[in-house]
Structures are given as C-alpha cells and as structure tokens.
Amino acid sequence: MSIQEIEKEIIEEFELFGDDWEGKYEHIIDLGKSLPKIKEEYKTDDRIIKGCQSKVWLHSELRKGKIVFTADSDAIITKGMVALMIRVLSNQKPEDVVNANLEFIVKIGLKEHLSPTRANGLVSMIKQMKLDALAFLNS
Amino acid sequence: MIDVNKIRADFPILNRKVNGKPLVYFDNGATTQKPKQVIDAIVNYYSEHNANIHRGVHTLSREATELFEEARKTVSKFIGAEAEEIVFTAGTTDSINIVAAGLDLPVGSEIIITEMEHHSNILPWQLWCEKNEGKLKVIPVEVDGTLDIGLLESLITPQTKVLAVTHVSNTLGVINPVDALIKIAKQYGLIVLVDGAQSIPHMKIDVRELGADFYVFSGHKVYAPTGTGVLWMNKQWVGKLKLSRSGGGTIKTVSFDKTDYVEGALRYEPGTPNIEGVLGLASALKYVNEIGIEKIAKHEHTLLKYATERLNEIPEVEIYANHLEKAAVISFNVKGAHPFDVGTLLDKYGIAVRTGHHCTQPLMARYKIPGTVRASFAMYNTLEEINIFIEALQKSIKMLS
Ligand SMILES: Cc1ncc(COP(=O)(O)O)c(C=O)c1O
C-alpha cells in the first residue's frame, strides 16, 4: 500500500471514535503495546532521538530498495505514536518517505502532539525518519 | 481560613476550559496565575503613566519613577529588608548569575550546593568554576528527600567560599533547614545564597532572620508577571558585589577614562528595566499581603495533606519525599508508567501538572528515574480540584495498565 492509502486507512480507523478521546488514547496505547520489539542491540544512546521527555530509539535499514524502520520508546503513548508512524512510513521507498506530508496526524485529532512544546518528540521522530530516508536516497 | 471562592474570582484564567473540562491548574511551581489586580496594574501603567524612569523631568516620568521606587519599598517590606538592598532582575536565574559573576572569589575556590538544586542554581556556579579552576561540592540528598546536613561541615575546606542552597526543592517540595545550614556556613565565614524561588509564594520570609547574604526569587512564581525577579543582598554587599554588566541608568558621571557609579543597588540595574513587570510584582505582593501569607500557607498545607492522603490510597502511586515538611508540592510516579504518559492523559482531563525532570537532572539521576509527575498548589486551589485530579489519575492509570 502507498503512504497515502495507509494514511486513509488510519483516518477511517480513528473516525470510529468520534469525540471519544479516551477510546482514541486507549487505541494508541494498544498500538504501542503491540509494536514489534526493536532489537536490544539497536537501543543504543546514539539512536535516541534527542529533545524528548520520553526516549525514542529509531533504527532504519534499506531492504530491496525500501526503507524499514524499527523503533521503541519508554513511554507508552509515545510508543503508540511511533507505531502509527512506522505503519505509515516503513516499507516505503525512501523518496516517498522524504515527500510524505503526513496529514493524517491532524486528521485523526492528534495535532497537539505536533506542537513544539510537546515533549514526546513526534516532530523530532518524523524529522529523523526523513533524514534517514534522505541519507539512503543519496547513498 | 481564606475565602477561596472570593480569591478564585480574582483570577480570570481559572474560568477557562481545557479540552472541554474546567481547568485544574496544578502547575504553580512552574508559574502561578495572575489576579486581575496584577493585570490591572500593568494596564493602568500603560494607560496612565508610561514613561521611562529615573531620567525625565516631565510629569509622566516622575510618576513612573515614583511608582517604580514605591514598588521597591513594597518588595523590601515583603521580605523584611530595606529598599536599598533590593535589585530588580529578570528572575531567579538572572539574580543567581549576577551574584555568581560578581563575587570576588580567589581562583580555585570551592562552592557548595546541594543535589536537589535547580539547574539555575548549578550552572552559574559551574560556569564560574570552569573559568576560575573552581570546584563544585555537593551535599547529597537522602532517600526521603532530606539533606544530609551533617555532611556540610565535612565538605568545608579553607578553599570553600560559598554555600548556594535552595530553600524549597522545586521538584520534591521539601523545605530545607536553611537556618541550620546558614549557621554552620557562617561559622566558617562562607557567603550564603538562598534560592527562594519556591519559598517566596508559600511562607513568610524575613531576610534578617534568615541571615544569608543573598536571597533571590522570581516574581512569576508569586502571582506576578514573568520577567521580574529580585536579588536581595545584605547591605554590606551593595557596592561590594562586582558589576558583571553595566550601562545606562547606573552612573553619576561617565567619561572614557573613568565612570562613577551610583552608590545604591541601582548600579546593578543597567538599562531600562521591566517597569510594568515591577509594578505588577508590587501589586502581586500587596495582594498576597491582603490575604495573608500565613493563611495561604495553612490552606496550602491542607491541600498538600489531603492530596498526599488520596495519592497514598492508590497502590500504583509512589510519592517522592513522602512526608509533610513540604511546601505545596507533591511529586510522584505511577508504577510501570512514564510520567509523560500520565501528564498527557491528565491534560486531556483538563488538569495541568508538570512532568519531566523539572530542571533538576542530578536529582533525577539520584533517584534513577527519568522524571516525575508534579502537582503544585497555590492559594486558589481547592479540595474539590484534588478530587477531580485523583479521579482523573485513577482513570489514567487504568488506561495505562
Ligand atoms: C528552585 C528554583 N530555582 C530557580 C528557578 C528558576 O527560576 P526562573 O526560571 O524564574 O529564573 C526555579 C524555577 O523553576 C526554581 O524552582
């Protein structure tokens, strides 16, 4: 599926919650819990995305022309956001990752996590994912 | 008893809704909300008196100068000081920097701080040490959040010149035995700075009784505008503390060869000050005086006690420094949950708490935790708000488990 198709799928999934923010956050927490574990050897300090209250470890590699992300966080809500980002951006072509505008975050009502004061590092994580993709593109 | 409903009516922001819920503001340790009296003081200044101070002969300038100097008296009375000892600064951080850069210490001096200091009472001293081959020494914090004050004496050597200590821990709320610490420090002739950022809103301060050389605080933590702060220095320091910054408004005469500075504390206030902020600060302190700081302290203690009881009932909650010798601050974690998760969910319920390291990373390292959830109270908070908070916390814990 393309990035846009996955985004559409997630938007539809979240529409079911309507105004029920508790349901929405419970879903994010569940997504966090079911995020496949990152290999322990990748949970090194140099893979920590800086500037977050919660830690995020991100690892990326290129497999058959597609970028594969694995990640983890010590906070469960952050981990749920990480899971959403991975679902959208992992297994995509690096150039598509670089160009993704990720409108779904606003559409599913999680805009607050994009604010610069948010300490969960979603913004830094997206930036790092795109930087990694760019690096693969140029290599 | 204070009339909390009447007080709440003075704080316009408390009518706000957050995420569709009535705001429960428990982040007073970071900054307090402002009563309309303070907001009005600022509006009134700009509507009626705005002019630069200490310079003009015209009426507005004279009025503004009088208001500004009147504010200095209000501040000095509030802490039992003399007006000449009050320097207006941009805040606690600014005040500490002015002191750390202005003490004429020999190269290689040692400075004692504690493990619970806010970064603002660590870094200015660390900077001094880096430039002057100095050494920072640290009084450790016990598991229960108290200081091992017996250790102070053993840390002091002939090179030790300064003790810089926070009166109240912004992270734990613990009230430090500054009297005892100052007594010991003074036996060894140390210069003492007390960081009053977290004590000024919660207890009566009398700098003469305290016996420190410097007492510093921020206006914004005591219902005043941001960007205001106070550096109180004992008289003997006025003129003796070196200038680390200089400029207009601080001089008698200037030539390119030599400058003659004014005698008083004004010499530490170069440039046009935050006039509106200082007037707001005076108004805030008057407001506190009208209600009475002792009454406020009593109310806040009731809140602290009740919140502690309620939190202790929740098995997943672990309170740091779990005793009541504290000032309206309660710091905790939920077992198995990151403070960020707890804070994020509480926010959805309209509750503002602080999460993270609270600018005390060494203290977090001491407890081996990434941070805490901190609820901190002010005069306008209520028992009912604590009930709302506890209910929201229980729901959050359920979601996170
Ligand atoms: C104990 C303590 N010291 C210093 C500061 C720094 O105050 P400001 O940021 O107003 O300069 C704070 C504020 O968080 C504090 O709580």
CA distances from B390 to A16, B306, B310, B312 (A): 29, 11, 7, 11
Residues B250, B359 within the same domain: no
pLDDT of residue B55: 78
For residues A84 and A129, give the distance between their C-alpha atoms in angstroms, rounded to a whole number. 13
Smallest CA–CA distance from A73 into chain B, residue = B338
Q: Which of B338, B355, B371 sits opposite A76 (nearest CB)?
A: B338
Distance from CA of B348 to the nearest CA of A (A): 8
- Same domain assignment for residues B76 and B164: yes
What is the model's pLDDT at position A118?
A: 60
Question: Phi/psi at A27 (nearest 5 deg)?
Answer: -65, -45
In this structure, the answer to whether residues B136 and B189 fall within a common structural domain is yes
Domain boundary among B290, B310, B341: B290
- What was the pLDDT predicted at A55? 86
- Return per-residue pLDDT of chain B as tens, 401 residues: 899 999 999 999 999 999 899 999 999 999 999 999 999 999 999 999 999 998 788 999 999 999 999 999 999 999 999 999 999 999 999 999 999 999 999 999 999 999 999 999 999 999 999 999 999 999 999 999 999 888 999 999 999 999 999 999 999 999 999 999 999 999 999 999 999 999 999 999 999 999 999 999 999 999 999 999 999 999 999 999 999 999 988 888 888 888 888 888 899 999 999 999 999 999 999 999 999 999 999 999 999 999 999 999 999 999 999 998 999 999 999 999 999 999 999 999 999 999 989 999 999 999 999 899 999 999 999 999 999 999 999 999 999 98
Q: How far apart are CA B82 and CA B393, in angstroms?
A: 46
Are residues B256 and B179 part of one domain? yes
pLDDT on residue A138 = 84
CATH classification of the domain holding B230: 3.40.640.10
Q: What is the token pair recorded at B291?
A: 């209600």
Tokens 């690892």, located at residue: A59
The dihedral formed by the CA atoms of B340, B342, B343 and B344, expressed in degrees to the nearest 10:
80
All domains in chain A, ordered by first residue: 3-137 (3.90.1010.10)
Query: Is ligand 1 within 6 A of the CB of residue B91?
Result: yes
Whether B172 and B225 map to the same domain: the answer is yes
**Global ipTM:** 0.89
The pLDDT assigned to B167 comes to 98
Choosing from B268, B290, B312, the residue where a domain stops is: B290
CB atoms within 10 A of CB B337: 20
Asked if residue B248 and residue B118 are part of one domain, the reply reads: yes
The residue from B230, B256, B290 where one domain ends is B290
B350 near A CB under 8 A: no
Do B45 and B122 lie in a common domain? yes
Of the residues B170, B174, B193, which should be mutated to test ligand 1's pocket, given the most ligand atoms within 8 Å of the CB?
Answer: B170
Q: Which residue is closest to A24 within chain B, CA to CA?
A: B399
Q: Are residues B196 and B135 in the same domain?
A: yes
What domain count does chain B have? 2
Domain that holds residue B255: 39-290
Nearest alpha carbon to residue B147 among B102, B178, B126, B118: B178
Are residues B205 and B109 part of one domain? yes
CATH number, domain of B22, equals 3.90.1150.10
Confidence (pLDDT) at A54: 83
Q: What are phi and psi of A130, to 5 degrees?
A: -70, -35
Residues of chain A in contact with residue B371, where contact means CB-CB under 8 angstroms, are 53
Mutate which of B27, B32, B93, B214 for ligand 1? The one with the most ligand atoms within 8 Å of its CB, which is: B93
Does the predicted model carry a pTM greater than 0.90?
yes
pLDDT of residue A114: 75
**Ligand 1 atom at minimum distance from B117 CA:** 1
Same domain, B192 and B336: no
Residue among A20, A24, A25, A49 with most chain B CBs within 10 A, to mutate: A25
**pLDDT recorded at residue B87:** 98
pLDDT less than 50: residues of chain A = none
What is the model's pLDDT at position A51?
62
B273 shares a domain with B165:
yes
Which pLDDT score is estimated for A81?
92
Q: Give yes or no for residue B118 CB within 6 A of ligand 1.
A: yes
Question: Is residue B229 located within the same domain as residue B92?
Answer: yes
